[in-house]
Structure 1
């Protein structure tokens, strides 16, 4: 599953950069072609970000990456109760 997410991540970012470059630099596109290229670039961006976040969570859960420095629910509630004191 991790390899599939990584492959999707690479393909999505490649699509983002390729179609984004086409949308920005091409002078001879019609309006509909420009909109399609921009939409494909946006789809690559969203998919790339989602795949990256999913991959980061999977690697944290499996121990390949260091866990983020977030508080657990009890510590967070205690800190919020002491906020205004």
Structure 2
């Protein structure tokens, strides 16, 4: 399931960047086409963020791998 969510994340962010670029830089498009590209970019953004959050849910940082030392308790 993790791999499926990871693939969804990549595809969603790719759609966001692709359609966002089209919406911002295209010169000979009608207003309807620009609106469609903007909506698809927004959908890609929302789906990408949601999939990323689902992928990152439950992940913890290994502090020993980062060489992070907790303060020693005195007492």
TM-score, normalised with respect to structure 2: 0.79
Q: Secondary structure at the match of 2:52?
A: helix
Structure 1 position 56, deviation (Å) = 0.3
Query: Which structure exhibits the higher relative contact order, with contacts defined as CA atoms closer than 8 Å and separated by 6 or more residues?
Result: 2
Counterparts of 1:7 and 1:21, CA distance in 2: 21
Match of 2:61 in 1: 66
Match of 1:14 in 2: 14
Residue correspondence of structure 1 range 1-85 to structure 2 within 5 A: 1-58=1-58, 60=59, 65-66=60-61
Structure 1 position 66, deviation (Å) = 1.5
Structure 2 unmatched ranges of 5 or more: 63-75
Q: Which runs of 4+ in 1 moved over 6 A?
A: none
Counterparts of 2:11 and 2:47, CA distance in 1: 9
In terms of fraction of residues, the more helix-rich structure is 1
TM-score, normalised with respect to structure 1: 0.70
